[in-house]
Amino acid sequence: MVLPLGRMTVKIRTTKTHHIADARTLGGGEKRFSKTPAGKRAAQDYLRHVQAEHNQQGAFTNPTTTPTFEQAVVEYLAYEEGRARRGELGVAHLGNKRVALQVIGRIKYEGRPLNAVRLGELRPGAIKREVLPVLFDGVAYGTAQKKAVILKHMLRWAVETAEILRSNPATVSLPKKPAAADRPVDRISKETVAQIIAAADDRYRLAIRFAAFTGLRAGEQLALTWDDIDFDAGVVRVSKAIKAGGTIGLPKTRGGARSVALASPLLADLRAWKLAQPRDQRRLGLVFPNDAGGYQDINNLRKRGLHASCKRAGVEPLRWHDLRHYFASILLFDLQETDAVVTSLMGHHSIAFTHSQYGHWMPEARRDQEIGDRLAKAFSVGG
């Protein structure tokens, strides 16, 4: 089988025992595959990969000159450790990456542990067929998704920073999230939130209060810098967020860039914190940094902050995202805002999505408003 490419060709030769993919004209050398239908398909995939990379980049990276996955992981983690020392990456996040890559390295790739495979041998099709199904099997979708993002980030480092590869073989679509039964979000009472805030450690009290009183997503809150807080206007302006790979990017949705009003007591607490913030924590200008002034890890806030506060307050443990739902309930039941205003303040991409999240609350909120209006009229003098 011969595959043409301009004046050059790549081909598959067949011996008694193997299919041999010959890409020497493009610098890819020869590679052997078992003499089976699956082996022939793998050989064809390899040649297509060689040709595609040559077409896109004008050259092909010979796999034999690239490090193994295990060797590359060591270099990548050393690079990430440097980022952690500079405060650009949370220590806990670094630990998560190390554990995830250990798990991924043990997955079989074309019959071998991924750790033993050279980076130049990785192909998008094989990662999608062999690595991702194993990664997503038998674990929570969100957990597997985070590991897949770490793999993608590591291989992007191999392209952009280490310059080992010319393209990222992990840029593939992930398995679809299994459909889950709709579960209405439960309302959290003001009393419960007040108890949690009162029981919180001083290091975490303001962060918990801020989340409950603004509804920002965790990634948005932890990326906030002091220039995002407009003390004169009394608002926080959301324009960025921490992403799964530890990088800073745009908010999650097109509606994520927004301004959210700050209650006067919260604004006063923020002003006091800005003045009292230790010098070591000011170097990146973050509102809620870690002790070294770098980006806070959400797991730290969740476990040492919120979960510990719930335990001390004697209430059921909440997720950090539940504080966002609490803010939505205040908008609907206490402020009785319109659907459009709720969508805007929550940073949702559409009113339809807001309905999907909180639609079960809306009739109740509208009913309470109508009853309140009728009661006001009934109790008015001359009504």
List pLDDT tens digits, range 37-52. Answer: 888 888 888 778 777 7
What is the model's pLDDT at position 152?
95
Say which residue, 165 or 247, is predicted with more confidence: 165
Mean pLDDT of the 283-308 span: 91
Spatial contact of 277 and 291, defined as CB atoms under 8 Å apart = no
Residue with tokens 């009292």: 276
Spatial contact of 26 and 8, defined as CB atoms under 8 Å apart = yes
What is the model's pLDDT at position 236?
95
Three-state DSSP class for residue 365:
helix
Say which DSSP state 122 is in.
-
Q: pTM for this one?
A: 0.57
Phi first, then psi, for residue 315 (nearest 5°) are: -120, 165
List pLDDT tens digits, range 137-165. Answer: 888 788 889 899 999 999 999 999 988 88
Instruction: Please say if the pLDDT value at position 5 is more than 60.
Output: no
The tokens for 380 are 């008015």
Q: Contacts from 310-315 at CB under 8 Å and sequence distance 24+? A: 310/196, 310/199, 312/199, 312/200, 313/192, 313/195, 313/196, 313/198, 313/199, 314/195, 315/192, 315/195, 315/196
Question: What does 18-33 look like in DSSP terms, one character per residue?
Answer: EEEEE-GGGT--EEEE
Alpha carbons 125 and 131: distance in angstroms, whole number: 10
Determine what percent of the chain is predicted with pLDDT higher than 90. Answer: 48
What is the model's pLDDT at position 8?
45
CB atoms within 10 A of CB 2: 10
User: Whole-angstrom distance between the N-terminal and C-terminal Cα of the chain?
Assistant: 92
List pLDDT tens digits, range 95-107. Answer: 889 999 999 999 9
Spatial contact of 309 and 208, defined as CB atoms under 8 Å apart = yes
Alpha carbons 335 and 164: distance in angstroms, whole number: 55
List pLDDT tens digits, range 366-380. Answer: 666 666 666 677 666
Instruction: Please say if the pLDDT value at position 263 is more than 60.
Output: yes
Q: How confident is the model at residue 91 (pLDDT cuts 50, 70, 90)?
A: confident
Residues 6+ apart with CB under 8 A from 81: 94
What is the model's pLDDT at position 237?
95
Instruction: Please say if the pLDDT value at position 4 is more than 60.
Output: no
List pLDDT tens digits, range 326-378. Answer: 999 899 888 888 888 888 899 887 878 777 777 667 666 666 666 666 667 76
- Could you tell me whether strands 30-34 and 108-109 are parallel, antiparallel, or unpaired per DSSP bridges? unpaired
Q: pLDDT averaged over the chain?
A: 85
Say which residue, 31 or 245, is predicted with more confidence: 31
Q: How confident is the model at residue 57 (pLDDT cuts 50, 70, 90)?
A: low
Instruction: Please say if the pLDDT value at position 270 is more than 90.
Output: yes
Element (H or E) spanning 123, and its range? none
Alpha carbons 282 and 289: distance in angstroms, whole number: 8
Instruction: Please say if the pLDDT value at position 265 is more than 50.
Output: yes
What is the model's pLDDT at position 186?
75
Alpha carbons 338 and 345: distance in angstroms, whole number: 11
What is the model's pLDDT at position 67?
92
Say which residue, 186 or 291, is predicted with more confidence: 291
Say which residue, 10 or 175, is predicted with more confidence: 175
